Structure formats: structure tokens, C-alpha cells
Chains A and B, each alone.
Chain A
Amino acid sequence: MQFIRPDINLDFIGKRKIAFIFSLVLLAVSIGALIEHGGPRYGIDFAGGTLIQVRFDKPVAIAQIKDGLQSMDFSQASVQQFGEEGATEYLIRTDVPDITDKGFNDILRQTLNSTTGADVEIRRVEMVGPQVGQDLREKALKAMFYALLFITVYISGRFELKWLLSAVLAVALIGGVYVLGLFKVSIPFLILMALLVTLVLFWFLNLRYAMGAIVALIHDVTITVGVFSLFDKEFTLPIIAALLTIIGYSLNDTIIVFDRIRENSKKLHKNPLAQVINRSINETLSRTLLTSLTTLVVVVTLFILGGGIIHDFAFALLIGVLIGTYSSVFVASPILLAWHQKSSAR
């Protein structure tokens, strides 16, 4: 059985302008959603606060829960339903940490019982103080930054044999961020600047493959974050794990294509690069689609059957896999081409 004929020859490079516009639209929508929501919606992992998951033994109304919370002085708390439709589990969230003092569990149970008439089970309590919240935010950003840099070094080394150059670059950037961070410069700002500097340096140092891969990755992460924001979902630590996984996974795809491009460049060095790239993408199309398919199957299963806690995580992975596949074909390779055309035009 075969989905893709062996002699398939779709003109991907030819369609790259359309893809470019499509990507821009997606990026615009993503950034727009982020701006409209005032930045990503942080879960308590990053914003600090308290989260309580409760389960009632029969259906209740959110208003009743809120009444109960109000009488406990939690008027600022938000309540939302958790899990599948018709489930009787709710998430109570407040920005105030430090409230789980002695007797709190009992008081909560009694109060909710009296306002809803149902028995309450406290399934999970999470409290994150503001200091830890900020620590985790910085850690998350640094993690993504380091991952991108290491990947850059690896790609530059493998595809352009510029191990030393890229390693020095990465170390310099990490060092720069670290030192400036000690001067209390805001970490998000620093990392943004560092990314821009990285891209500029790639341009000047001719690290083409790395540039193509990194741009594709930034594209993927931005759109995933944007779609998340669009659906008003919360960012928690596991979501960052999902983003990093997407980075690793999207890169898989990209590398497969790049590998083939490199192989074909040697074999068909007389042909123009555009043709080589097209050929390579077509040759690897079968494999690209298949792995995305199998990964999608498992992620969708996780999304549907995995339960409330893992739900958002699976959602992030879902978007990431789709976008990652798309970007390997329509973003990474065209950038490689644009590069080559620029440098051969000089």
C-alpha cells in the first residue's frame, strides 16, 4: 500500500509564495491573538496563585460554587469546569497564594457543601508563590533559548561542518545573556534580542541551513503559542515541555528534508538549487507524511482519551505536529533557496 506514488513531482518550491502568505497570515493571527489577550495567559506555574480541583458527587451550578467561595472571602476566584462535558469536576483558581492554612480543606468542603448541597472531594491543590512563579518563567524562557542555540550548533556542524564557528557563537550568546541577566536586565527582553542577534549573525556568517531550521522553529513555536492564546488556554510547565518537544520533533522533519537536499546537491550538482530542493521534498514526502500521520494518531488519542490534566498538553502537541510538518516543507526549504539566490546574486 502506498499513499504517495514513487514518481511524484509536485512543485512545492513553485508554490512557495502562496505558502509564504499563508504563513504570514498565521503569524499575524497568532501575534494578534497574543496582543489582544495581553500576552500569554499564564497558569499558576508562572503567575503564582492557587489552584484547587474539586469533584462533586452530583451536578452543581457554577454560581453555587461562587457563592460559597464568596463567603470565604474568595470573591476574586475563577471557577471553570474541568474534564469532559457533564463531568462534575471544577477548577477553582485564585491569584492569592498562601491560603492553604490549617483547616482550609475542611472549611472549603463544608462551605461548598452548604451552598451546593453536594459532597465535595478535593482532588488536587496546587499553590505557587510569586517568587517561584517568576523563577519558573525565567527557566522556561532560558530552556527554549538554550535548546534553540544547541540545535543551531548541531545543524551548523552536521550540515555545514562549521562546528567551531557555531559553538563559539552559541557560547558567546549564552554568556552575553547570562552576564546581562546579572545586571537585572529583563530576561524576556534579553532573549528576544539574543534571538535577533543570532539571526543577524547567521546572515553574515552564511550559516544557511541553521538559519532555515531556526526560522522554521520560531515560526512553529510562535504559531503554536498564538493558537493557544486564541483558544484562551493556559500556559503551564507541561505546555513548555510540549513546545520543546515540538521543537525537537519539527526539527526531525526538517533534517530529513535537508539531508536529502544535501545528498541530491552532490548527486545533481548541475541542476539549479530550486529543482534539487523540489526533488528532495518530493522524495521524502512519503516519509514526512507517514510519520506525521502516526504521530498525529497517537496525539489525537491522547487528546481524546487522556483526561483533563493532559488535555491542553495534547492540544499543544497537536498544533505543533501539524505546523511542524507544514514548516519543514514550506518554510525551511524556501528560506534555504532564498539564501542561495541572494548569495549567488552577489
Chain B
Amino acid sequence: MRPLKNIAWKPVLIAAVFLAAIIYILPTFNSSLWPYKKINLGLDLQGGMHLVLEVESEKTVESTLERIVQDLRERTRREGIQQIQVERIDGDRIQVNVRGAANIKSFQELMDAEFRDLREQDRSQTGDALVLALDLPEQEVDRIQELAVAQALETIRNRIDQFGVAEPDIRRQGDRRILIQLPGISDTERAKELIGRTAQLEFKLVDDQMAPETALKNGAPPGSEVLYQINVDGNTKREFKTPFLIKKRTMLTGEYLTDARVRYDQDKRSYYVAIDFDRKGGRIFERVTGDNIHKRLAIVLDRKVHSAPEIQDRISGGSAVITGSFSAEEAEDLAIVLRAGALPAPVKVLEERTVGPSLGKDSINKGLMSMIVGGLLVIVFMVIYYKGSGLLADTALLLNILLMGAGLAAFQATLTLPGIAAFILTIGMAVDANVIIFERIREELNIGKPPRAAVDAGYDRATLTILDANVTTLIAALVLFQFGTGPVKGFAVTLSLGVIASMFTALVFTRVVFDAFLSGRKVKQISI
């Protein structure tokens, strides 16, 4: 007779594990029963959209430089520095041409005082003409890019929050990628549009000096550029572009918005978006409209002219409207992106996977069916081949499945379609451990050992082998987890859980049952 304290801990452990498993798995079947979380379903099982975006953060650097050029022009004008030209070249540098000793001196002072971030790349002076090439130091460039990605992440998160998706998953991937998972979403195109839209709102003045067509032919005058308004014919669905000559200088941007709301105009029977500026924005708006009465103010959205109404009067109060031929949805989406803010840089869709809910349900059904059929076949086989012990192995198998499910729920891991395959695989591989032990026991019985000794020897010899064999599967699963994405990761996690669970049930659970069966009485034969 073994001392009591030796055999007591194993059954207690098993009972505890079993109970915990039941507790963890219950919410999946009836969520009101227990305040824990259910098993997470992957997108391939519940339907939804998976997006990987890349933030083109180098464009933020470009637009920062552009802004600096504008600033520089404005400041030099105000300081009265003459004979100076500031241009952006090559996308990442600024070239300055100054003429006249006095101008050069004033410019230098201005640079030292207010534009210390800029780095001098190149300087050449011939006579009284100075040519400077300026750019931003690498650290600054990195900082801008890093900030752009972080900001893009926040903005997208904001937009998705307002869009109202249940349990979205938005996270950063590496340097410049953003991973987005939206379960259960049905209108994927609208969501993509909402997420990917740069939504940069700018107010610029229309340049009346020249007709847009002339600018197209001969080139735009310095400080202005041609931007297009895109209209879609309602009937033919064809797009046609109208050119506008717009002054490059941005008067006001969407940064100054505090709110954007959708309104309906009864007379015109159309939706429009009413926007509010913050105090500073309101003041700028008042000044711009006041200074430019009877000129046109273009509302530029994502580098396209949305509309260019004529300024009738100075507008104070800090509110404005954006009209257009919007549907209710379009107006709502515009309001959302204006509220959440513009993306600091455009984003590109690198990967998209969308599964419709009907397919998801089908996959679950097929997976479950395979599991039930496969499971039954294995269970029946085990009983036929190993008789009583086979039944024990089957019980261990069922416990296994319970543990795997509970493990998924407890660790909040995601069950994917390959994950269901892992469940099914585990059914086949779990009996492996039992088979190893039982075959060993049979061997020992065959060479004449009594049942008790045979069982002991069987377990002893087999334990190391089982550990070895299962560790290699775990290694493969671990590597898969590290390198895999989405569904494959789900597979790796489920497989690992299965391996660990099967080791537990084979080595601890079945042993306890055997021990219990053999301990009290003198047994001559075991059903194996």
C-alpha cells in the first residue's frame, strides 16, 4: 500500500484541472452563466475583414518641407528680404537663391533665429549671389516619420471607433505597417474607404490672375498650382475633371476643426457637412474671408478641389459648411474623417482578406462535422483494439478536447479554421501517447510480469519517449507561431495546447485511473 500522501495529489490535481476547464469553457456555450470570456473566433470563422496598411511616411517629410518652404517665403516677405527665391527640389531639399549683400545678411539672421532645424547641405557664393541647399537632418526625418505612423494609428483607431465596429483589433506591425481586424463587418468597401482616406482638408485661395487652361499650357505661375475638381455624372457614372488654378499657400487646414456634423438642407434636398473651427481657426477664417471678399476660397480635400465658393462677406463665428452632392452615407463618412482628423501620410493597402459570414458559418459546420466523425471513428477503434483500456484512452481523449477548448478561452487565443484542423489532428495524435504506454504494458505483460508491475514499467519506460516525441511537435508549433500570421498562428496555438493536454491526460490522468483500479485489490488481469 502506498502512503496516502503520495497518491492523493494526483487525483486532486486532475479534479482541479477538470473543474477549471469546465469553468473556462462554459461561457462559450452560454455567456450569461459566467462572466468570463468566450472562445475568440478568427475572422475566417466569424466573417470580417483583415487589412494590412503601410503608412507612406516619407510623404510626411515632403509635406513638412513644403510647409517650411511656405513659411520661409512668408517670413522673408515680411522681413522685407528682396531678390530671394525659395524652392523645394528633389522632394527632400530646399534650394534658396539670394542676391545682394544686405539680403544675404538678413536672410542669414532669419535662418539663425527661426529656422534652426534646417541643415545646410551645400553653400556656394559667387559675387553677391548665394545659393544654399537645405535639408532636414536624419534624426529629424526619422522623428517625423515615426510620429506620422503613430499618428496614423491613432487617427485610424478614431475613425474605426466612430464607425462602430464591435471589438476591432488595430495594432502596429513593424516600422510602418498597421494591422487592422474588423470582425463581422459587412460593408467592407465603405470601411476601407473610411480607413484609407487621407482626408486632408485645406482652404486655399483661387488664383484669378490666369485662366486655369493657360496655366496648364504654359505652366503655373510661382506660388500657384493646378488642382482638379472631379465630378461624376450621375447617369453615365463617368468622371470628368475641371481644372482650377489655386494658390499653393494653405490658409487653414482641418487641424483647426473642432466638430463636423451632417445636416440636411430641405430646400436643396441634399446633405451637407457643417464644420466648426476652434478659436484660433475661427480668427484665421475671419481674417482670410475679410481680406478676400469677392475672391474665391477653394475647399481642397485630399488635393482635389471640392468646391470654390465666392467669399461674399467676412465670416466670423468660426463655422462653415461643405456642400456637394452627398448621399447620407458619404456625408456621414466625411464628417467622421474630419472629426477624427487627417492621416498625416497616405496609406497603402498591402494585404486584404475578407470573409463573408456565410462562409464563416459553413467552415465552422464542416470543421465540427469532421471532428465528430473522426473522433467517433477513433473512439470506436480504441475500444475494439484495447478493450477496457481503450475506453480509458477515449475518456482521456474527451478530457483532452475539453482542456484544449478551455485553454483557448483562458488564454483568449483565437480559434481559426486551421485551428479546428489542429483539434482534429490532436485527436489522432493524442491517442499516440496512450498507444505508446499500452503497447509497453502489453509487452511487459507478455514477458510475464503481473499487472501492477507491468503498468508501472509501462509508464516508466514510456514517459521519456512520450516527452521526446511531443517536444518535437511543440518545437514545430513554436516556430509556426513565431513566423505565421492569422489563421496559421491559431493553428500553432491550438496544436501546442493539444500536445500539452495530451501529455497531461496520458501521463497523469490515465495513470491515476489505472492506480485506482489496481490499488485496492489483487488484480489478475487488466483489460488491455
Chain A residues packing against B (C-beta within 8 Å): 1-2, 6, 53, 98, 100-105, 121-129, 131-132, 136, 139-140, 142-143, 146-147, 150-151, 154, 158, 237-238, 240-241, 244-245, 247-249, 251-252, 255-256, 259, 283, 286-287, 290-291, 293-299, 301-302, 305-307, 309-310, 313-314, 317
Q: Is B477 an interface residue (CB 8 A)?
A: yes
Q: Is B79 an interface residue (CB 8 A)?
A: no
User: Which of B359, B431, B482 gathers most chain A CB within 10 Å?
Assistant: B359
Starting from the known contacts A122-B356, A298-B424, 15 additional A-B residue pairs (CB-CB under 8 Å) come to A6-B442, A100-B352, A125-B353, A127-B353, A146-B482, A245-B473, A291-B435, A294-B428, A294-B431, A298-B370, A298-B374, A298-B377, A298-B427, A302-B421, A309-B44
Give the contacting residue for B350; candidates A126, A132, A158, A314; CB below 8 A: A132
Q: Is A124 a contact of B483 with CB atoms below 8 Å?
A: no
Give the contacting residue for A294; candidates B356, B373, B378, B488; CB below 8 A: B378
Give the contacting residue for A248; candidates B362, B473, B482; CB below 8 A: B473
Give B54's nearest chain A residue, CB to CB: A131
In the complex, chain B residues whose CB is within 8 Å of the CB of A143: 479-480, 482-484
Q: Is A154 a contact of B189 with CB atoms below 8 Å?
A: no
A211 to B241, CA, bound (A): 68
B35-56 vs A, Cβ < 8 Å mask (1 yes, 0 no): 0000000001000000010100
Give the contacting residue for B367; candidates A142, A241, A286, A306; CB below 8 A: A306
Give the distance to chain B from A130, nearest Cβ to Cβ, in Å: 9
Q: Is A287 a contact of B417 with CB atoms below 8 Å?
A: no
B window 321-366: CB within 8 A of A: 348-356, 358-359, 362-363, 366
Give the distance to chain B from A344, nearest Cβ to Cβ, in Å: 26
In the complex, chain A residues whose CB is within 8 Å of the CB of B436: 256, 287
In the complex, chain A residues whose CB is within 8 Å of the CB of B477: 244, 248
Q: Name which of B131-139, B284-292, B464-472 contacts chain A.
A: B464-472
Q: Is B476 a contact of A248 with CB atoms below 8 Å?
A: yes
Question: 21 A-B Cβ contacts within 8 A?
Answer: A53-B359, A123-B358, A125-B353, A129-B348, A139-B483, A146-B482, A158-B468, A241-B491, A241-B492, A247-B476, A249-B429, A255-B469, A286-B439, A287-B439, A291-B428, A293-B381, A295-B432, A299-B428, A306-B370, A310-B367, A310-B421
Q: Is B233 an interface residue (CB 8 A)?
A: no
Give the distance to chain A from B302, nearest Cβ to Cβ, in Å: 14
Known: A6-B446, A126-B352, A241-B418. A252 touches B367 (CB 8 A): no
Q: Is B227 an interface residue (CB 8 A)?
A: no
Known: A6-B442, A124-B356, A298-B374. A102 touches B483 (CB 8 A): no
Q: Is B189 a contact of A105 with CB atoms below 8 Å?
A: yes
Known: A125-B353, A248-B472. A238 touches B432 (CB 8 A): no
Give the distance to chain A from B348, nearest Cβ to Cβ, in Å: 8
Give the distance to chain B from A73, nearest Cβ to Cβ, in Å: 16
Q: Is A127 a contact of B351 with CB atoms below 8 Å?
A: yes
Q: Is A98 a contact of B349 with CB atoms below 8 Å?
A: yes
A147 to B469, CA, bound (A): 15
Give the distance to chain A from B457, nearest Cβ to Cβ, in Å: 13
A154 to B475, CA, bound (A): 9
A140 to B353, CA, bound (A): 19
A290 to B381, CA, bound (A): 10
Known: A237-B488, A244-B480. A305 touches B431 (CB 8 A): no
A245 to B484, CA, bound (A): 13
> By the criterion of a CB under 8 Å from any partner CB, how many residues of chain B are at the interface?
75
In the complex, chain B residues whose CB is within 8 Å of the CB of A2: 385, 442
Give A301's nearest chain B residue, CB to CB: B374
Give the contacting residue for A291; candidates B356, B420, B429; CB below 8 A: B429
User: Which of A103, A105, A142, A302 gathers most chain B CB within 10 Å?
Assistant: A302
A249 to B358, CA, bound (A): 34
Give B385's nearest chain A residue, CB to CB: A1
Give the distance to chain A from B359, nearest Cβ to Cβ, in Å: 4
Q: Is B384 a contact of A302 with CB atoms below 8 Å?
A: no
Q: Is A294 a contact of B432 with CB atoms below 8 Å?
A: yes
Known: A123-B359, A245-B476. A256 touches B418 (CB 8 A): no
Q: Is B476 a contact of A127 with CB atoms below 8 Å?
A: no
A129 to B464, CA, bound (A): 46
In the complex, chain B residues whose CB is within 8 Å of the CB of A98: 349
Give the contacting residue for A251; candidates B381, B469, B482; CB below 8 A: B469
Give the contacting residue for A6; candidates B193, B443, B468, B475; CB below 8 A: B443
Q: Is B479 a contact of A244 with CB atoms below 8 Å?
A: yes
In the complex, chain A residues whose CB is within 8 Å of the CB of B418: 238, 241, 310, 313
A311 to B349, CA, bound (A): 29
User: Which of A104, A140, A295, A317 gathers most chain B CB within 10 Å?
Assistant: A295
In the complex, chain A residues whose CB is within 8 Å of the CB of B472: 151, 154, 248, 251-252, 255
Q: Is B126 an interface residue (CB 8 A)?
A: no
In the complex, chain B residues whose CB is within 8 Å of the CB of A299: 424-425, 428
Give B352's nearest chain A residue, CB to CB: A127
Closest 5 CB pairs of A and B: A248-B476, A295-B428, A307-B366, A301-B374, A248-B473
A255 to B471, CA, bound (A): 11
Q: Is B442 a contact of A310 with CB atoms below 8 Å?
A: no
Q: Is B403 an interface residue (CB 8 A)?
A: no
Give the distance to chain B from A155, nearest Cβ to Cβ, in Å: 8
Give the distance to chain A from B114, nearest Cβ to Cβ, in Å: 40
Give the distance to chain B from A112, nearest Cβ to Cβ, in Å: 15
Q: Is B356 a contact of A121 with CB atoms below 8 Å?
A: yes
A150 to B429, CA, bound (A): 21
